[in-house]
């Protein structure tokens, strides 16, 4: 009985000593960093999320950043570009593609409203408006772009925009001026082609024929210049544009000659198409 009592006391003493010993080591919990609250911090976080392919979260951060300072445009630029890139990954004309294009265009519109008037802004707005079937908006932005940047590509986009809304007099007025102003441009064939098409739309087929024949001559002249310059001219964007415009002008002439049963002219056009590699 005494041994049992002594053993019990010893166990109690050991337990008390163990309880009084040093506390077991614990893992220190670091404080969680607060979410960024500056416009720059929100923007950087948005970029990180974009890189990590968390596009919806990135969009939220870009919008929060832009809302803090109307003069801080980069978040809107990145958001517009991100949504455009997402659109390009979706099938053509799909619901998702159209949704992302509308979202992207909305940000470019905001950028323009905040004073961003670079040509790349207007060209992207033209492209997306056309893709969304918003021909009137395409014309609005094409006009702004051509007025501020009166170069061959911008003016050709304007002729396209006039054509898409059915303003064929606008096409004729703009393209007639352009064929004189941009004689040495790779877009010269594009101007003649759309000018000829516009004349067919207002039932002036003979005028259209004369314009297209003149366009073929001007286009051949530019192709000859490229060829004489040497090098791999056929691989250049300028040559590809000139060649495509030539083929399209020949096809319009083929349709006209077929309609009016001009057999000799039709045979000549078909030979020219064959020489250009058009076999259909």
Between 9-13, 73-77, 107-111, 226-230, the lowest mean confidence (pLDDT) is in 9-13
User: What pLDDT, on a 0 to 100 scale, did the predictor assign at position 197?
Assistant: 98
Nearest one of 170, 111, 91 to 136, comparing CA atoms:
170
What's the average model confidence in pLDDT over 172-197? Answer: 98
Task: Name residues whose C-beta falls within 8 Å of residue 249's C-beta, 6 or more positions apart in sequence.
Answer: 189, 192, 193, 196, 212, 215, 216, 219
Q: Tens digits of per-residue pLDDT, 126-174?
A: 999 999 999 999 999 999 999 999 999 999 999 999 999 999 999 999 9
Dihedral of the CA atoms 203, 209, 212, 214 (nearest 10)? -130
Give residue for tokens 């297209």. 212
What pTM does this model have?
0.84
User: What pLDDT, on a 0 to 100 scale, did the predictor assign at position 37?
Assistant: 85
Give residue for tokens 């024929």. 209
- Give the tokens for residue 279: 């076999």
Compute the C-alpha angle 108/114/115, nearest 5°.
95
d(CA 182, CA 220): 15
Q: How far apart are the first and last CA of the chain?
A: 115
User: Residue 30: pLDDT above 50?
Assistant: no
pLDDT band, residue 280 (cuts 50/70/90): confident
- Give the tokens for residue 109: 């519109």
pLDDT band, residue 224 (cuts 50/70/90): very high
Task: Name residues whose C-beta falls within 8 Å of residue 223's C-beta, 6 or more positions apart in sequence.
Answer: 239, 242, 243, 246
- Give the tokens for residue 253: 């002439």
What's the average model confidence in pLDDT over 253-259? Answer: 98
Give residue for tokens 């925009």. 161
User: What pLDDT, on a 0 to 100 scale, did the predictor assign at position 223?
Assistant: 97
User: What pLDDT, on a 0 to 100 scale, did the predictor assign at position 242?
Assistant: 98
């Amino acid at each position: 009985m005494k041994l049992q009592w002594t053993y019990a006391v010893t166990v109690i003493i050991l337990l008390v000593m163990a309880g009084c010993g040093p506390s077991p080591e614990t893992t220190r919990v670091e404080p969680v960093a607060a979410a960024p609250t500056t416009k720059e911090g929100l923007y950087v976080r948005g970029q990180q999320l974009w890189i990590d392919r968390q596009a919806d979260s990135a969009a939220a951060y870009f919008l929060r950043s832009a809302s803090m300072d109307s003069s801080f445009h980069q978040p809107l630029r990145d958001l517009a570009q991100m949504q455009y890139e997402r659109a390009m990954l979706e099938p053509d004309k799909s619901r998702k593609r159209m949704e992302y294009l509308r979202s992207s265009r909305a940000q470019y519109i905001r950028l323009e409203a905040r004073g961003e008037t670079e040509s790349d802004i207007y060209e992207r707005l033209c492209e997306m408006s056309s893709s969304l079937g918003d021909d009137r908006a395409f014309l609005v932005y094409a006009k702004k772009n051509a007025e501020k940047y009166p170069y061959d590509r911008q003016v050709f986009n304007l002729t396209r925009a006039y054509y898409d809304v059915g303003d064929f007099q606008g096409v004729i007025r703009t393209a007639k001026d352009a064929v004189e102003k941009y004689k040495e441009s790779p877009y010269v064939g594009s101007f003649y082609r759309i000018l000829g098409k516009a004349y067919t739309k207002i039932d002036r087929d003979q005028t259209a024929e004369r314009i297209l024949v003149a366009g073929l001559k001007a286009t051949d002249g530019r192709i000859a210049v490229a060829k004489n310059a040497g090098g791999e001219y056929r691989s250049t964007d300028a040559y590809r544009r000139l060649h495509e415009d030539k083929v399209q002008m020949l096809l319009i002439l083929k349709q006209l000659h077929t309609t009016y049963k001009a057999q000799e002219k039709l045979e000549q056009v078909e030979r020219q198409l064959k020489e250009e590699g058009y076999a259909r």
